[in-house]
Amino acid sequence: MSKSLAHKTERSAPLLPVAVDPDLVRFEKNLLSIGFFGANDSRDKNRTSRRIEQVVFRNGHKVKVAAEFRGSEQLGLPSTTDRDKFIALLKILSEERVKTGQIANPIRFSGYRMIQELGLSRNGEIYEEIVRWGKRMTDTTITSEKVVYRAAKKVYSDEVLHVFRSFKRTGESNLNGTDRQEHYEVMLEEWLIENLNQRYVIPEDFNAYKMLTRPTAKGIFGNLHLWFHASQGRQVEKDYAELCNLLNVQVYPHLSKIKSTMGLALNELVNIKYLDKWDVQPMSSKDGYKIVLAPGPALMRVLRESYPEQQELPAAKSEVSKLPSSPEDEAIQLLKRHGILPAKCLALVERFGADLVCDTVEYLESQMNSGKRNGVENPAGLIIYSLEKDLPVPAGFISSRRREEMRQAAERDRVKEEARQALEAAYMRWVDGKRQEALAERYSGDELEAKLSEVIKKNSKGDTFFRRVPPAQHRNLALQLIMKEIRDGLVLPSFEEWKSQNGQIDLFQAN
């Protein structure tokens, strides 16, 4: 670790740390990973398009993907202020989902509700900003070149997309702008609704986000959840130029300028304890710089609470000067603990891999601790001998690594089963809806009442059991008999057929 990473960033106006419980909002992954919301708050009106290209690994192969955004000269492209309002909308959606079980169009909300979520003052201009935001979100076109993931279909799309299908203002206000009671209606595009309902999302703490003031800090904020979830809480390194391209901010060639621009945003993330440290270092493989980031305790708290499989993530206390270690570092430390020289530790890990080294050392430790050392006075030599002679670890030995893999697999199975049960419940609701539709088509209100009277009269005469039912229950029983007749006459797909036709779920998606 370089000396400069150990320095604590300057704090000219420290923000209060996150002292309240996280207010988690689930942000759609695609909009985050493709950089839909730029961090350039002062919009360039003349720029109506933007393109981001990336090279990613899929199925062991390098794949070039791209996303292109196009907007109008009047409205421009989405930026940080639009991200603010979109998160507020997601907060509103999450509460609706709790009530109904899923997100569905149309989405209706009041201007006052959004202003409350954003913590802004109520004035005439903010209502017009909401309208411009809605229009911009509807107007902006995304061209996906194998980059936008459709969670329900489990494919990367090659298509032209939008985020909002439509947006309209439905409320009214006085001409002078007083006593405004404005309401809005949003129709989300189907791909976005599918991904939100499939939980193809990253949880973000809305309370922490609202403490940020710099657009670049807000742009980096959501990505921190993505990066450190993927790295299991270990330090991450990001190509500075690629990060600027993702955020839509200017790339500077000089270290001092980088620290005086992006550095201020990173300081703000340190102040709210989402980063512990940061540094800018030259890249070894090519010209340019990389940003080195260490997670802060507030971010680690959110990750542990958001992902059951990451409950064992390190606490990442800011007073700890050392960055979280990689699997290779942990394997090296394990070897050092048994007296093996650092250079040999590094060579063993590079040759045999961190997993085999850790499994072998843990197995040999278990043998020594159980009294089976059998006079071995040189544990370091035994470890080196076992690795270099490729002595197998018994299949029945469960190392801490394998135990964690088994726990994660069990968790995935549990999530998969819960998802299937939820889908089966949705299928039953769909079947019931189809039966209700068939009932409404066959009988109008008056016709249904007449049919119920007919069934009651007929069964009261010819059905002994029906006559024994209290008269107050006759109507419900007659309705059930009619519904049975409708059920027997309907031809509906089975659960498996319905799931396949509708592409409703990815049972292997854990988010």
- Round to whole Å and give the CA distance between 504 and 101: 14
Q: What pLDDT is stored for residue 133 in this prediction?
A: 93
Looking at this protein, which amino acid is placed at residue 200? Y
Based on the fold, state whether residues 418 and 299 are members of the same structural domain: no
Q: Please check whether residue 510 lies inside any domain of the structure.
A: no
Predicted pLDDT of residue 21: 56
**What was the pLDDT predicted at 89?**
93
For residue 507, is it within any domain? Answer: no
| Residue 225 located in a structural domain | yes
Task: Kindly state whether residues 78 and 173 are assigned to the same domain.
Answer: yes
Domain that holds residue 490: 402-502
Would the pTM of this model clear 0.85, i.e. be above it? Answer: no
What residues does 216 pair with on adjacent strands? none
Last residue within a domain, chosen from 156, 173, 204: 204
Preceding peptide of 342 cis, ω within 30°: no
> Which of 324, 340, 363 finishes a domain?
324
Kindly state whether residues 356 and 367 are assigned to the same domain.
yes
Last residue of a domain, one of 172, 204, 236: 204
Here the contacts of 408-414 (C-beta below 8 Å, separation 24 or greater) are 408/309, 411/308, 411/309, 411/510, 412/508, 412/510
Q: Structurally, how many domains does the chain consist of?
A: 4
Task: Give the rounded distance of the alpha carbon of 258 from its chain centre.
Answer: 29
Within 10 angstroms of residue 3's Cβ, the number of other Cβ atoms is 7
Question: How many C-beta atoms lie closer than 10 Å to residue 482's C-beta?
Answer: 17
- Can you give the pLDDT of all 511 residues of the chain as single tens digits? 443 443 334 333 333 343 445 678 889 989 988 889 988 754 455 678 889 888 876 665 678 889 999 998 888 899 888 999 999 999 888 877 777 778 888 989 888 888 888 887 777 788 888 999 999 999 999 999 988 988 888 888 889 999 999 999 886 655 555 555 788 999 999 999 998 988 888 888 888 998 999 999 999 998 998 888 877 788 888 999 999 999 989 899 999 999 999 999 999 999 999 999 999 998 877 788 999 999 999 998 888 877 654 444 454 443 333 443 467 788 888 898 888 888 888 888 888 888 888 889 888 888 776 554 455 567 888 898 889 888 888 888 888 888 888 888 888 888 888 888 888 888 888 888 888 888 888 888 888 889 889 888 888 888 888 888 888 888 888 888 888 888 888 888 888 888 877 654 444 343 4
Instruction: Pull the structure tokens for residue 16.
Output: 């209060």
User: Burial of 503 by CB count in 10 Å (0-12 exposed, 13-18 middle, 19+ buried)?
Assistant: middle
379 and 464 share one domain: no
Look-up of token digits 């106006």: 13
Which residue's entry shows tokens 């985050």? Answer: 32
User: Which of 251-260's residues contact partners 24+ apart within 8 Å by CB, and which partners?
Assistant: 255/280, 255/289, 258/289
Looking at residue 178, its pLDDT comes to 53
Contacts of 400-404 spanning 24+ positions with Cβ under 8 A: 400/358, 400/362, 401/355, 401/358, 401/359, 402/359, 404/312
Distance (Å, whole) CA 146 – CA 65: 6
The answer on 317 and 331 residing in a single domain is no
**Co-location of 181 and 256 in the same domain:** no
Q: Is residue 414 part of a domain?
A: yes
R_g of the chain computed on alpha carbons? 30
- The CA distance from 334 to 357, in Å, is 9
The answer on 117 and 170 residing in a single domain is yes
pLDDT at 307: 64
**179, 61: one domain:** yes
pLDDT, residue 324, reads: 39
Check whether residue 351 and residue 439 sit in a common domain.
no
- Residue showing tokens 């995935």: 412
21 vs 174: CA distance, rounded Å: 39
Q: Are residues 342 and 409 in the same domain?
A: no
Give alpha helix (H) positions in 101-214.
111-118, 124-139, 190-197, 206-209
Given this model, what pLDDT does residue 508 score?
38
What secondary structure does DSSP assign to 343-359, as a single string? HHHHHHHHHH-HHHHHH
Which pLDDT score, from 0 to 100, does residue 15 have? 37
CA-CA distance, 360 to 366, in Å (whole number)? 10
Number of C-beta neighbours around residue 326 at 10 A = 14
Residue 509 falls inside a structural domain? no
How far is the C-alpha of 271 from the C-alpha of 19, rounded, in Å?
12
Distance CA 202, CA 151 (A): 13
Whether residue 508 is contained in a domain is answered as no
**Separation of alpha carbons 481 and 473, rounded Å:** 13
In this structure, are 38 and 116 located in the same domain? yes
Assigned domain for 511 exists: no
> Does 424 lie in the same domain as 493?
yes
Residue 151 lies inside a defined structural domain of this protein: yes
Selection from 219, 225, 222, 278 nearest residue 247 by Cα: 219
Nearby residues of 272 by Cβ (< 8 Å), 6 or more positions away: 15, 17, 18, 208, 211, 212, 296, 298
